Structure 1
Amino acid sequence: MDLTTTTYIVVGLSFALYIGIAIWARAGSTSEFYVAGGGVHPVTNGMATAADWMSAASFISMAGLIAGMGYGGGLFLMGWTGGYVLLAMLLAPYLRKFGKFTVPQFIGDRFYSKTAATIAVVCLLTASITYIIGQMTGVGVAFSRFLEVSNATGIYVGMALVFVYAVFGGMKGITYTQVAQYIVLILAYTVPAVFISLQLTGNPIPQLGLGSNLVGTDVSLLSKLDQIVSDLGFAEYTTSVPGSKLNMFVYTLSLMIGTAGLPHVIMRFFTVPSVKDARVSAGWALIFIAALYTVAPAVGAMAQTNLMRTITPGVVMQNADPYAPEASIRYDERPDWMKRWETTGLLKFEDKNGDGRIQYYNDKTTNPEMKAKFDAAGWKGNELNVNADIMVMANPEIALLPNWVIALVAAGGLAAALSTAAGLLMAISAAVSHDLIKGVFVPDISEKNELLAGKISMAVAIVIAGWLGLNPPGFAAGTVALAFGIAASSLFPAIMMGIFSKGMNKEGAIAGMLAGLFVTLVYVFAHKGLFFVRGTEFTGLIGGPNSFFGITPEAFGAVGAAVNFIVAFIVSKMTAPTPQHIRDLVEAVRVPRGSKAITGAAH
């Protein structure tokens, strides 16, 4: 059976499973729509949380980033998993004890202000919408490559599928669908990794294969990879750190607090029966996430090795001269997987020296010895542009694995993108229908009408998400960074201060959220060349163009969070103190007993 037919069958069966679960678990009340009735088992919720979190960025992009960055790519592993530790220890149990449906509702009640709740909704919508662009784009890429349809058609199919199981099922349908999607995506990630680890090292466990010797040699996989990338002018794979150590630290911190502040992740902990279950659920989520995240470094290293072995065979062969003509392959003899991925535009070849061969190397190296060797070989620049996003998806094809494995990877990539898209859409729907319509504009709305408003707002959100996927804004490459930056700089500090600072008042919380959001947006947009001062592109503050002490925009959320905390505490000291009943509320929420809802009077 050919690859396209196999992929249609595997992806079609997975879609039928999702739709069947949605019909079985459709929501019949606002409680089921927003928090699945609050009765989800912690193990089930942990699995759904893992699927909700492991988006297209985790499944498709993370190992590709590690493949390109090497050791430095570990910041994604530390940041994203570390965020769950913060979430489990500092946020989830207390928010569950508070007993509300959403993050804006917690902020509105804790800071006794509808204005604070409205600002939280704005932050939530901005973070969720920017994050969802990447998910819908990932759906389009996976469809266009593996099902051989246009990018637009892929996004339309994805929109329709999410509509069926998210709008009708609400959080209840999404939860059980995400359990199925987790199973699909974890199999799709680990099965090819086992195959490739066996091929390269003879060890079926990828985590152990990463440190094993290559088959038939006494050279380890990582040592060989270090040699290959060094011969081609790249930084050593096992030691390279992109940028400064300060930036790596701040980047990791930003990912951690951004993870802990993402509203669609936090909402999952409102679906379990008790405070204890919220903690247990967070622990299970970490275990399920680790099943993929511990494999990712092996997938990245093995994907990079396979890529190098395919397009620069002379470099990979022992004792071969990497600068000889036979070290590279002829373009007209390129393997079939390259031809297929060229059609997506994610892999491009440009014959800069006209020799008909593919030169893949670091033409930007500052090593004079390397440059001299490249010049002597007659190379005029790197001729192959490989998008990091294809490394995981193309890896089984590069390794010549069976068609059913390649089809499984396609289904896994779609499951990862759709599961996170559904969670984000649920957060958007709850913010609009529950926090804005019921919380601000129509407080006496009936449960039936609120449920209808939630479904309509989710349907509208799906249309907007699809349109953004079809027409991504100019800053699309930085949307994930922007989403994390917004969550880290606006929502996380407000939640932390709401739980642990009895003296934080509404004026401080509002000022902090606005300040953190503002500085983060300005910096990210400035760095992406979309912010202008009197018609001149903003050129940065300290450390060169578009930089602040060498901190990249992807890492700036941590700086925005620091601004939020500082502004909030200064303003709170200069304004009226927190009412006593709110102080009592904070004290009661922090008491580690029970799980009953506690509410404070709103002024």
Structure 2
Amino acid sequence: MDLQILTYLVVGATFALYIGIAVWARAGSTSDFYVAGGGVHPVTNGMATAADWMSAASFISMAGLISNMGYGGGLFLMGWTGGYVLMACLLAPYLRKFGKFTVPAFVADRYYSKTAAAVAVICLLTMSITYIIGQMTGVGVTFSRFLGVSNEMGIYLGMGIVFCYAVFGGMKGITYTQVAQYCVLISAYTIPAIFISFQLTGIPIPQFGLGGTMVGTDVSLLAKLDQVVTDLGFSQYTTALPGSKLNMFVYTISLMIGTAGLPHVIIRFFTVPTVAAARSSAGWALVFIAILYTTAPAVAAMARLNLHATVNTAVMSGGDMFAAESSLKHEDRPAWMKRWEVTGLLKWEDKNGDGRIQYYNDKTTNPTAQANIAAAGWAGNELSVNADIIVLANPEIALLPNWVIALVAAGGVAAALSTAAGLLLAISSAISHDLLKKIWMPDLSEKGELMAGKVAMAGSIVVAGYLGLNPPGFAAGTVALAFGIAASSIFPVLMMGIFNKRMNKEGAIAGMLCGLGITLFYVFAHKGIFFIKGTEYLGLIGGANSFFGITPEAFGTIGALVNFGTAYVVSKFTPAPPEHIQKLVEDVRTPRGSKAISGAH
């Protein structure tokens, strides 16, 4: 069957499934809308949590980043997975016992302050909106490539699908839809990996294939990849580091504590009936997450090797990498390259006019390459490959069957939509429950709050779609900034609220504002444009990565330290929390029963 038609059928079938589930599980109360009635089974919740957490960044971008960066790309694996463990061990059970199903609601009660809750809402909205830009961009990329529509139309379609199952189903609809989306995305991720691992190593399990030997040789896959990339002038794949060790360290920490502070994932632990069930669902979620995260390094390495083999025939034959006849003629490029060129994520520039694709590091120190450059006038690397296409194009590069390619398209959409729905619910609950019900309109009825939640959800979808169509420069291309914002604002206030009974409202408010403020300042100073007295300044604070070489995406760690430090100092010079608040903190840390989630406020 034609690839385009097959893709329409597979992706269309998944959309029908998602909408059907939403109709079946539509929310009829605020408890259903916010926490799915609090009766979700731990295994089901674990699967839904995995889908909620594994966004387009995990499915589409992570393996591509590892593929481009090599060993250093492991910081995403360590940061995101380690962060989930932090959340499961240090936050989720205690927050579940506290009984408040949103982060601002916890802040309001723990810090006995509506002002603190309002600041928490600002932090949550800033993080969620930044994060959702990447999800809508992922939807646009996937739709435009596989459904043959424009990027803009892809985002509009994505908005429509999310509207159907998120607005009407609320958390109940989203939970069961995310279970289906997990099944789709994990199948789409692992099946191509199994095929490719078997092709290259004869081992069908990708995790083992990564450490295996190439078919018909005694050379390991990683040794072959190291040889190929170093011969082409790139850094050795198994030892490459992105920037300084300090930056890698703080980047990893930022991803970890940012992950632990994600409000749309935290809220999932309130959909189960007990604290014990929350712990159990956290364990199941880690199992489901591990299936993808242990597969990603194999996908990255194998895709990188196949890509080089496609462009340079000497990769697998062992010939001269830099012989002119070994590089691919542009006119002979495979169909998958032509399809991806249309998206703009794969670009070729014939710098020397020979009609062939040169793909090697511009700064190569390989003597053969340098001699060829001098003799033939080669002008350096001519191929630009965006990291976001590595997973999506992987089955096409490996010449897998059309049904596998169509399945990957459905998986990419499922990953983006599942996280987008979770983020939209977090935004909606912050507006309808934490701002309207708790601060502005305390007499709002349950029916009115449910309607306000749905209206807020619909409005959030429109805003998310607009930002996906017009992404601001400071956030385009990465969701790491969202993790930095969560790390610098939300994670510290939760940790101190649980483990420091002396922390008061003044410290919490000052900490959140300072942590968020300094992180946003650093991000905008490097990635944004400031206007001062009518003059435009770019890179306001001394050039790129001026703070000890730390990149903006990694600065959340510094913001978190500022948050903790500010909160501690302010709390020392202001009155202690009331006695009942301190006893409440002690009680939350004591492993006894839990408040039931009833939807009552």
Same fold (TM over 0.5): yes
Aligned residues, how many?
597
Q: CA deviation at 1:477?
A: 2.6
Q: CA deviation at 1:482?
A: 1.9
Gap regions ≥5 residues in structure 1: none
- Using structure 1 for the length normalisation, give the TM-score: 0.97
What is the alpha-carbon distance in structure 2 between the residues aligned to residue 531 and residue 225 of structure 1?
43
- Using structure 2 for the length normalisation, give the TM-score: 0.97
Structure 1 match to 2:64: 64
Q: Sequence identity of aligned pairs in percent?
A: 76
What is the alpha-carbon distance in structure 2 between the residues aligned to residue 478 and residue 525 of structure 1?
15
Q: CA deviation at 1:576?
A: 1.3
For the 8 Å contact 2:133–2:468, the answer to whether it is kept is yes
What is the alpha-carbon distance in structure 1 between the residues aligned to residue 254 and residue 372 of structure 2?
40
Question: 1:30 corresponds to which letter in structure 2?
Answer: T
**SS class of match (1:476):** coil
- Which deviates more, 545-554 or 185-194? 545-554
Aligned alpha-carbon RMSD (Å): 1.6
Q: Deviations over 1:203-262 (max 9, x none)?
A: 100001111111111111111100110011100001111111111111110000000001
2:140 is the counterpart of 1:167: no
Q: 1:573 to 1:588 in 2, by over 3 A?
A: same
Structure 1 match to 2:498: 499
Structure 1 match to 2:81: 81
For the 8 Å contact 2:66–2:297, the answer to whether it is kept is yes
What is the alpha-carbon distance in structure 2 between the residues aligned to residue 367 and residue 101 of structure 1?
58
Q: CA deviation at 1:530?
A: 2.4
What is the alpha-carbon distance in structure 2 between the residues aligned to residue 555 and residue 287 of structure 1?
27
What is the alpha-carbon distance in structure 2 between the residues aligned to residue 104 and residue 529 of structure 1?
29
Question: 2:501 corresponds to which letter in structure 1?
Answer: K
2:567 is the counterpart of 1:547: no
Structure 2 match to 1:135: 135
Q: CA deviation at 1:529?
A: 3.9
2:255 is the counterpart of 1:255: yes
What is the alpha-carbon distance in structure 1 between the residues aligned to residue 208 and residue 529 of structure 2?
45
Q: 1:502 to 1:446 in 2, by over 3 A?
A: same
Question: 2:572 corresponds to which letter in structure 1?
Answer: K
Structure 1 match to 2:403: 404
2:470 is the counterpart of 1:471: yes
1:348-363 counterparts in 2 under 5 A? 348-363=347-362
Q: CA deviation at 1:578?
A: 1.2
2:429 is the counterpart of 1:430: yes
**SS class of match (1:477):** coil
Q: Deviations over 1:392-451 (max 9, x none)?
A: 000101111100000000000000000000000000000000000001100010000000
1:129-528 counterparts in 2 under 5 A? 129-318=129-318, 320-365=319-364, 371=370, 374-477=373-476, 479-528=478-527
What is the alpha-carbon distance in structure 1 between the residues aligned to residue 478 and residue 438 of structure 2?
29
Q: CA deviation at 1:577?
A: 1.4
Question: 1:554 corresponds to which letter in structure 2?
Answer: E
**SS class of match (2:479):** helix
Question: 2:495 corresponds to which letter in structure 1?
Answer: M
- Which deviates more, 364-373 or 261-270? 364-373
For the 8 Å contact 1:515–1:567, the answer to whether it is kept is yes
1:52-131 counterparts in 2 under 5 A? 52-131=52-131
Q: CA deviation at 1:597?
A: 6.0
Question: 1:108 corresponds to which letter in structure 2?
Answer: A
What is the alpha-carbon distance in structure 2 between the residues aligned to residue 418 and residue 175 of structure 1?
12
**SS class of match (2:575):** coil
What is the alpha-carbon distance in structure 1 between the residues aligned to residue 451 and residue 17 of structure 2?
26
Structure 2 match to 1:12: 12
What is the alpha-carbon distance in structure 2 between the residues aligned to residue 478 and residue 524 of structure 1?
14
**SS class of match (2:461):** helix
Q: CA deviation at 1:91?
A: 0.1
For the 8 Å contact 1:98–1:597, the answer to whether it is kept is no
Question: 1:2 corresponds to which letter in structure 2?
Answer: D
Question: 1:267 corresponds to which letter in structure 2?
Answer: I
2:39 is the counterpart of 1:39: yes
Q: CA deviation at 1:539?
A: 4.4
For the 8 Å contact 1:48–1:178, the answer to whether it is kept is yes
Question: 1:13 corresponds to which letter in structure 2?
Answer: A
What is the alpha-carbon distance in structure 2 between the residues aligned to residue 369 and residue 244 of structure 1?
30
What is the alpha-carbon distance in structure 1 between the residues aligned to residue 478 and residue 336 of structure 2?
29
What is the alpha-carbon distance in structure 2 between the residues aligned to residue 17 and residue 83 of structure 1?
31
Q: 1:551 to 1:478 in 2, by over 3 A?
A: farther
Structure 1 match to 2:573: 574
Gap regions ≥5 residues in structure 2: none
